[in-house]
Amino acid sequence: MSTAPEKLSESDSPLDLSAIRADFPILDQTVQDKALCYLDNAATAQKPRQVIDAVAEYYRRDNANIHRGVHTLAERATAAYESARERMADFINASATEELIFLRGTTEAINLVAQSWARPRLEPGDEILVTELDHHSNIVPWQLVCEQTGATLRAVEVNERGELDLESFEALISRRPRLFAVGHVSNALGTINPVKHLVERAHAFGVPVLVDGAQATPHMAVDVQALGCDFYAFSGHKMYGPTGIGALWSRKELLTEMPPCQGGGEMIKMVSIERSVWNDVPHKFEAGTPNIAGAIGLAAAADYMESIGLDAIGDWEHRLLEHATRRLSETPGVTLIGTAEQKAAVVSFVVDGVHPHDLGTILDSEGVAIRAGHHCAMPLMEKLGLPATARASMAFYNTLEEIDTLADALVRARELLA
Amino acid sequence: MDLKDLYHEIIVDHNRRPRNFRRIENPTRVSEGYNPLCGDKLKLYVVEKDGVIEDVAFEGSGCAISMASASLLTERLKGKPAEEAETLFGQMHDLLTGKGEDIDTEALGKLAALEGVKAYPSRVKCATLCWHTLHAALQGEDLATTE
């Protein structure tokens, strides 16, 4: 490896980074008198003005409740909401628009599948399979439903690089669990799981698969038909959209046979005191007034990402990942955690002599925002034998210079505490 | 805000070389403290006899603030009346949450080095964890959390 510092600049990017950064008003600020260097995108991504404007414009001009009023604003709001559904169904290449249910986010989507699809099917002795790499939101809903039904939760092991152990997977999937739930991309380590392969193997044993796509949709083009999965859940705020909006996709025949989880307005066709008739999919699962502005903002985020190009986003984020991996590996006392071959732009690491939480505070004083902690993946941390890690997670608006700022700040953190 | 106010040299020193960082084989009181936010974990051992803390030590892992705070606690309380521990707990709590205008920081001695934490609300629990744990130990409870 060459020791001469390679001169890298924004001009190496295929993206027009200064124009892109100008779309994100929040990036243009100082924190503790230093330029903000936002590297906590896996927690939540920043929003371009196109998203902020879409939400504001809806409230300024179109706000009304949907699917009921006959007045002009209600019709505009309904059209905007339903066109957002069409947009998002298209974004993940669903075969039908009504297969996309708007929910609060990935967590609510997984809980819905656990309670509506799994709970009526599970019996004592049945198994649900997750992985040690998963986020708590793809573990705890299954624990709850296992407690309710007497089923057993099992987890595919991870290897020392932070990849799923495929032998462990084969052994557990051949036990024919009732469902396999797996993250597309690990939030804690960035590992991209071989979802298509996992789905093929699971289906060979007749096991349906739920994919937690919260960390995938921000980074790559997702095609649910090509993946072959049965459920796909994702969140708006991780992919440059608003908080409080996300979606569940599933095939229409599965959704049709699932009972609703929540009762209320919108999810019914007819109500009497004796009984009610459920509305059609997807409205059956959208009780109450939904997050209309959120759905519109999410569709604007999808538009924005596609205007830049998902391939271009992926290429630049890969460059950021390579640069971060190299700079951090070369920084004395830094150990990278999670070295999977296929990774999204996330680097998890520990620094000798500096606890991740101290690191978080010290980096903040340099304007650098990272995450420190267990990343809602305590089973993974226990497996790795670590109480916590520091995590820098990149987005396409990040620059190579920001990664240099991070690496330089790590050196100063060690000087201070180690 | 100057980082040196948070990572005072006393804190850096006690983090690097925590005092009384050991297990006590036959403690009269023992309690575990856990801060779910940071993952700071510590176990505090106390030997109390006739109302006096004859020995106090801790084990665990956590951030610099939690380790230094626990180290300073043990250094300060060894050989002191148990009552003093409760008084100090109240004073430290007030100092770290910015309610300590009336506190004589000179009397707190080295413990006052933690005062800089009050400018970092997300880190206050790191500093108070050992005090909650000690309080639980003296009350005969075996677990303390900062939640």
Q: Tell me if chain B has a CB within 8 Å of the CB of A417.
A: yes
Look at residue B29 and give its three-state secondary structure: strand
Instruction: Note the pTM of the prediction, 2 decimals.
Output: 0.93
Q: How far is A358 from chain B (nearest CA, A)?
A: 6
**Mean of per-residue pLDDT scores for chain A:** 95
pLDDT over threshold 70, residue A199: yes
Q: Which of B3, B13, B15, B69 should one mutate to test binding to chain A, selecting the residue with the greatest count of A CBs within 10 A?
A: B3
pLDDT over threshold 80, residue A335: yes
Q: What are the backbone angles phi and psi of residue A154, rounded to the nearest 5°?
A: -125, 160
Q: Which of B1, B38, B65 sits opposite A373 (nearest CB)?
A: B38
Residues 15-34 of B with CB under 8 A from A: 15-16
Question: Are B3 and A416 inside 8 Å of each other by CB?
Answer: yes
User: Between residues A181 and B139, which one has the greater pLDDT?
Assistant: A181
Q: How far is B39 from chain A (nearest CA, A)?
A: 6
Q: Tell me if chain A has a CB within 8 Å of the CB of B146.
A: no
Global ipTM: 0.90
The per-residue pLDDT for range A349-359, each reduced to its tens digit, is 999 999 999 99
d(CA A21, CA A284): 40
DSSP string, B42-93: EEEEEEEETTEEEEEEEEEE--HHHHHHHHHHHHHHTTSBHHHHHHHHHHHH
- Which two three-digit tokens encode residue B88? 């100090």
The per-residue pLDDT for range A131-168, each reduced to its tens digit, is 999 999 999 999 999 999 999 999 999 999 999 999 99
Question: Are B63 and A373 inside 8 Å of each other by CB?
Answer: no
Q: Tell me if chain B has a CB within 8 Å of the CB of A373.
A: yes
pLDDT for A3 equals 43
Most confident of A66-70, A230-234, B85-89: A230-234
Q: How far is A412 from chain B (nearest CA, A)?
A: 12
Question: Are B12 and A416 inside 8 Å of each other by CB?
Answer: yes
Question: Are B63 and A417 inside 8 Å of each other by CB?
Answer: no
Q: How far is A153 from chain B (nearest CA, A)?
A: 24
Question: Are B64 and A358 inside 8 Å of each other by CB?
Answer: yes
Structure confidence at residue A11 as a pLDDT band (50, 70, 90): low
pLDDT for A8 equals 47
- Give the residue numbers of A marked as catalytic: 376
What size, in residues, is chain A? 418
Rg (CA), chain A: 22
Q: Tell me if chain B has a CB within 8 Å of the CB of A32.
A: yes
The per-residue pLDDT for range A73-102, each reduced to its tens digit, is 999 999 999 999 999 999 999 999 999 999
pLDDT for B141 equals 77
> Before A282, cis peptide (omega within 30)?
yes
Torsion A359-A364-A370-A375 (CA) sign: positive
pLDDT for A5 equals 44
Q: Which amino acid is at A412?
A: R
Most confident of A163-172, A368-377, B28-37: A163-172
pLDDT over threshold 60, residue A31: yes
> What number is the average pLDDT over the span A394-406?
98
pLDDT over threshold 80, residue B143: no
Structure confidence at residue B122 as a pLDDT band (50, 70, 90): confident
From chain B, the residues in CB contact with A358 under 8 A are 7, 63-65
pLDDT for B39 equals 78
HSE toward the beta carbon, residue A233, CA cutoff 13 A? 22
Q: Tell me if chain B has a CB within 8 Å of the CB of A365.
A: yes
pLDDT over threshold 70, residue A2: no
pLDDT over threshold 60, residue B29: yes
The per-residue pLDDT for range A243-293, each reduced to its tens digit, is 999 999 999 999 999 999 999 988 989 999 999 999 999 999 999 999 999
Among A10-19, A243-252, A365-374, B61-70, the range scoring the smallest mean pLDDT is A10-19
Catalogue the E-assigned strands of A76-189: 100-103, 127-131, 152-156, 179-183
Chain A, nearest residue to B12 by Cα:
A417
Q: Which of B1, B16, B62 sits opposite A355 (nearest CB)?
A: B62
pLDDT over threshold 60, residue B109: yes
Look at residue A286 and give its three-state secondary structure: coil
Q: Which of A354, A358, A374 sits opposite B39 (nearest CB)?
A: A374
Q: How far is A144 from chain B (nearest CA, A)?
A: 21
From chain A, the residues in CB contact with B40 under 8 A are 357
In CATH, which of 3.40.50.300, 3.90.1010.10, 3.20.20.300, 3.90.1150.10 is domain B3-139?
A: 3.90.1010.10
Pairing of strands A37-38, A368-369: parallel
Question: Are A417 and B15 inside 8 Å of each other by CB?
Answer: yes
Q: Tell me if chain A has a CB within 8 Å of the CB of B38.
A: yes
Q: Which of A362, A388, A416 sits opposite B38 (nearest CB)?
A: A388
Q: Which of B6, B63, B120 sits opposite A355 (nearest CB)?
A: B63
Using DSSP, how many helices (H) and how many strands (E) does chain A show?
A: 14, 17
pLDDT over threshold 70, residue B42: yes
C-alpha distances (whole Å) from A321 to each of A213, A305, B58 are 20, 19, 40
Q: Who's near A280: CB < 8 A, 6+ residues apart?
A: A98, A269
Question: Are A358 and B65 inside 8 Å of each other by CB?
Answer: yes
Residues 54-73 of B with CB under 8 A from A: 61-65
From chain A, the residues in CB contact with B1 under 8 A are 32, 365
Structure confidence at residue B102 as a pLDDT band (50, 70, 90): confident
Most confident of A210-214, A262-266, B109-113: A210-214
State what percent of residues in chain A have pLDDT above 90.
Answer: 92
